[in-house]
């Protein structure tokens, strides 16, 4: 099941909620429910933790640092959670682009044959520092598994055992053999006629009932095991079931279930294959192996962006500066434009930026302008001018405009839909460059989102320009594209859920037009559409046309623009007093 978030937009901020409860925001004035997602942003890049090409959600900085561990992606997400200006995103998503492999260790039988493989939940070379001990329980019964990692508290799972049922044959000497491997799953007795295919009985309770119905056999499920599967039974070879009651176990499965339910570092899976499931032998302290760091090349970006296509994301950013690996900015642009096309149906915008300076200012500005012209997209901006800030260890580091872009995305997902990024502060200690007015004009007129000091000395984005190289204000301004994308996505989703797959009679009596108009009115309330002060109209000319099984919907609306300029005329007069 995929539940919809509920959107709360007020006081120039936006947040999305799925956990029931009462939520408040100081100076809040408006809330709206049932809207399409509007503030899901993902940062993509290289790090040392997390599953590659998989969308990871973080609600706090601590979660992100713990999962991503180190690297550009971790630092970018950390900065984006505190972008500046008092803005704090409710959640951020991240995707590790660089490939990596999990580590593993096998639990074997005495032969040795692989029985159970323990695999790290995380990916990368660091997982080879996880170590495992399997021992006989020193407490009560069964097995004891200990999982250790560096100085972290050990994971200790003791008394691992699962007893499934008791069985006895009362007439004569008799043994029971359980075979449980990929080629056969059977329970047979040497006398008395038991020849059971385990898969024929859904539960241990069903199996016991059948055995009890056979002459001279007594079988009792262990309390709590009645609904377990007989296919989880441990294999045994010719055990005596005449002299005394015998307990059939599923301890092999208990080890797997215990790890999967309780470990934050490992998963477990049966790997016995053609060998019988038997309880693994004890294992002395052993480190995981096979965890490794893979590549970070264009193909990794392709894989990650393909994986991202299925996700509910509106903004994409990266700390990659387009220098370390071939063409991620162009790949992200192509992805966002494809997802924003008619067939993409998941409108997206991107925020990318320049590397930290390696040359003189004039050259760096020229390079930024060239990058913006190369991207030339309505769907994204290119940020120039990074800054200094403390890293996760408290050491002051240099972060280029590519990191500033990630911080701007953090701000964007915290802002209301109609709020521009222009003049929003950035949480830098100092900036890479102090730009002159002529520098700013050169950058802005070529579609570079320039960052500079405000008059009070605080770093801020001068203007939220897209890289689009045509003078069309609707597509030049980042927040206006956000508004248009949101209205398009939300209206499409709303009407699709209401009417697709329904009889056409439901749209011929004005109901569909009414639904469209109510949604347009909501966009006005949200500030996405703006009213003409003369006519008091924000949208008009809603036309519904039906042709066979196709419905055409047209309307016009005034999209809300940001306030970029204030021109003040001061008319001063000289007082002349005549007496």
Residues 34 and 146 in one domain: no
Residues 360 and 430 in one domain: yes
pLDDT at 323: 64
Residues 399 and 421 in one domain: yes
Residues 323 and 436 in one domain: yes
Does some domain include residue 109? yes
> What's the CATH number where 475 sits?
3.40.50
Task: Give the tens place of pLDDT for each residue, 392-413.
Answer: 999 999 999 999 999 999 999 9
Q: Is residue 378 over pLDDT 80?
A: yes
pLDDT > 90 in the chain, percent: 82
**For residues 173 and 35, which has the higher predicted lDDT (pLDDT)?**
173
Q: Is residue 447 over pLDDT 70?
A: yes
- Fill in the DSSP letter of residue 549: T
Does some domain include residue 575? no
How confident is the model over 182-204, as a mean pLDDT? 97
**CA neighbor of 100 nearest in space, from 296, 313, 238:** 296
Residues 227 and 303 in one domain: no
Q: Are 131 and 287 in contact, with CB atoms under 8 Å apart?
A: yes
Say what the pTM is: 0.87
Does some domain include residue 494? no
Does some domain include residue 565? no
How confident is the model over 355-370, as a mean pLDDT? 94
Does some domain include residue 48? yes
Does some domain include residue 511? no
Q: Which of 273, 292, 311 is the endpoint of a domain? A: 292
**SS3 sequence, 374-396?**
HHCCCCEEEEECCEEEECCCCCE
* Torsion of Cα atoms, 156 then 159 then 160 then 165, to 10°: -170
Residues 329 and 471 in one domain: yes
Residues 233 and 106 in one domain: no
- In 433-526, which ranges are E strands? 448-453, 459-461
Task: Give the tens place of pLDDT for each residue, 303-341.
Answer: 999 999 999 999 999 999 876 545 899 999 999 999 999
Give the C-alpha distances (Å, rounded to integers) separating 245 from 35, 67, 162, 205.
63, 49, 16, 17
Q: Is residue 17 over pLDDT 70?
A: no
Q: Residue 20: which residues within 8 A CB-CB, separation 6 or more? A: none
Task: Give the tens place of pLDDT for each residue, 521-579.
Answer: 999 999 999 999 999 999 999 998 888 888 899 999 999 999 888 889 999 999 998 87
Does some domain include residue 546? no
pLDDT-derived band at 75 (thresholds 50, 70, 90) equals very high
**CA neighbor of 93 nearest in space, from 249, 295, 316, 265:** 316
* Residue-number span of the structural domain to which 88 is assigned: 6-98+295-480
Residues 134 and 203 in one domain: no
The H or E element that residue 402 is part of is: helix 401-412
Residues 313 and 363 in one domain: yes
Residue burial 387-407, b: 16+ Cβ < 10 Å; e: rest: bebeeeeeeeeebbbbbbbbb
Residues 223 and 110 in one domain: no
pLDDT at 196: 98
Instruction: Say which range, 4-13, 186-195, 338-347, has the weakest mean pLDDT.
Output: 4-13
CA-CA distance, 334 to 393, in Å (whole number)? 36
User: What residue spans of 277-323 are helical by DSSP H?
Assistant: 298-308
Residues 373 and 469 in one domain: yes
> What's the CATH number where 119 sits?
2.60.40.4290
Q: Which residues pair with 381 in a beta bridge?
A: 351
How confident is the model over 3-31, as a mean pLDDT? 50
Does some domain include residue 517? no
Task: Give the tens place of pLDDT for each residue, 83-131.
Answer: 999 999 999 999 999 999 999 999 999 999 999 999 999 999 999 999 9
**CA neighbor of 400 nearest in space, from 371, 380, 436, 423:** 371
Q: Is residue 472 over pLDDT 70?
A: yes
Residues 105 and 47 in one domain: no
Q: Is residue 23 over pLDDT 60?
A: no
CA-CA distance, 34 to 32, in Å (whole number)? 7
**CA neighbor of 385 nearest in space, from 438, 440, 332:** 440
CA-CA distance, 558 to 565, in Å (whole number)? 19
- Report the domain count for the chain: 3
Radius of gyration in angstroms for the set of CA atoms belonging to the chain, rounded to a whole number: 32
The tokens for 234 are 């441990």
**CA neighbor of 73 nearest in space, from 62, 85, 84, 64:** 64
Q: Which of 249, 277, 308 is the endpoint of a domain? A: 249
How confident is the model over 481-487, as a mean pLDDT? 94
Instruction: Report helix angle 361-375 to 437-444, nearest 10.
Output: 20
How confident is the model over 463-475, as a mean pLDDT? 93
Kindly report the average pLDDT of the chain as a whole number: 91
């Amino acid at each position: 099941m995929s539940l919809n978030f509920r959107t709360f937009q007020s006081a120039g901020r936006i947040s999305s909620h799925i956990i029931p409860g009462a939520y408040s925001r100081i100076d809040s004035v408006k809330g709206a429910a049932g809207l399409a997602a509007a503030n899901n942003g993902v940062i993509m890049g290289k790090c040392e933790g997390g599953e590659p090409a998989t969308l990871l959600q973080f609600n706090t900085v601590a979660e992100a640092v713990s999962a991503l561990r180190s690297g550009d992606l971790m630092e970018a997400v950390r900065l984006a959670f505190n972008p500046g200006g008092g803005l704090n995103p409710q959640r951020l998503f991240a995707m590790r682009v660089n490939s990596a492999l999990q580590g593993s260790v096998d639990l074997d039988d005495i032969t040795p044959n692989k029985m159970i493989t323990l695999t790290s939940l995380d990916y990368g070379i660091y997982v080879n520092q996880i170590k495992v001990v399997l021992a006989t329980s020193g407490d009560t019964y069964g097995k004891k598994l200990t999982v250790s990692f560096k100085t972290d508290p050990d994971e200790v799972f003791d008394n691992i055992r699962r007893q499934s049922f008791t069985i006895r044959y009362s007439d004569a000497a008799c043994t029971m053999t359980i075979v449980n491997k990929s080629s056969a799953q059977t329970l047979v007795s040497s006398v008395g006629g038991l020849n059971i295919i385990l898969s024929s009985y859904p539960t241990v309770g069903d199996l016991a009932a059948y055995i009890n119905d056979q002459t001279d056999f007594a079988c009792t499920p262990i309390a709590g095991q009645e609904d377990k599967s007989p296919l989880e039974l441990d294999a045994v070879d010719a055990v005596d079931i005449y002299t005394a009651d015998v307990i059939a176990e599923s301890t092999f499965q208990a080890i797997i279930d215990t790890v999967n339910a309780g470990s934050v570092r490992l998963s477990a899976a049966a790997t016995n294959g053609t060998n019988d499931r038997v309880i693994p032998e004890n294992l002395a302290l052993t480190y995981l192996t096979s965890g490794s760091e893979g590549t970070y090349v264009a193909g990794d970006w392709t894989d990650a962006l393909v994986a991202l296509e299925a996700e509910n994301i509106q903004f994409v950013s990266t700390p990659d500066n387009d220098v370390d690996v071939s063409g991620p900015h162009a790949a992200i642009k192509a992805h966002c434009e494809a997802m924003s096309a008619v067939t993409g149906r998941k409108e997206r915008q991107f925020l990318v930026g320049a590397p930290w300076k390696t040359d003189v200012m004039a050259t760096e500005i020229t390079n930024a302008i060239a990058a913006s012209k190369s991207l030339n997209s309505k769907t994204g901006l290119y940020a120039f001018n990074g800054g200094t800030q403390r890293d996760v260890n408290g050491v002051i580091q240099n972060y280029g405009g590519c990191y500033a872009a990630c911080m701007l995305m953090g701000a964007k997902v915290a802002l209301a839909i109609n709020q521009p990024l222009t003049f929003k502060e950035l949480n830098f200690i100092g900036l890479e460059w102090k730009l002159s007015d002529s520098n700013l004009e050169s950058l802005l007129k070529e579609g570079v989102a320039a960052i500079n000091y405000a008059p009070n000395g605080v770093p801020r984005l001068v203007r939220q320009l897209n890289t689009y190289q045509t003078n069309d204000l609707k597509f030049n301004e980042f927040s206006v594209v956000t508004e248009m994308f949101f209205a398009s996505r939300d209206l499409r989703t709303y009407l699709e859920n209401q009417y697709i797959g329904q009889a056409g009679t439901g749209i011929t009596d004005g109901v569909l037009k009414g639904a469209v108009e109510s949604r347009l009115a909501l966009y006005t309330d949200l500030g996405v559409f703006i009213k003409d002060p003369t006519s008091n109209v924000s949208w008009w000319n809603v036309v519904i046309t039906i042709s066979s099984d196709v419905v055409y919907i047209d309307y016009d609306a005034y999209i809300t623009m940001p306030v970029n300029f204030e021109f003040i005329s001061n008319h001063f007069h000289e007082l002349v007093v005549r007496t």
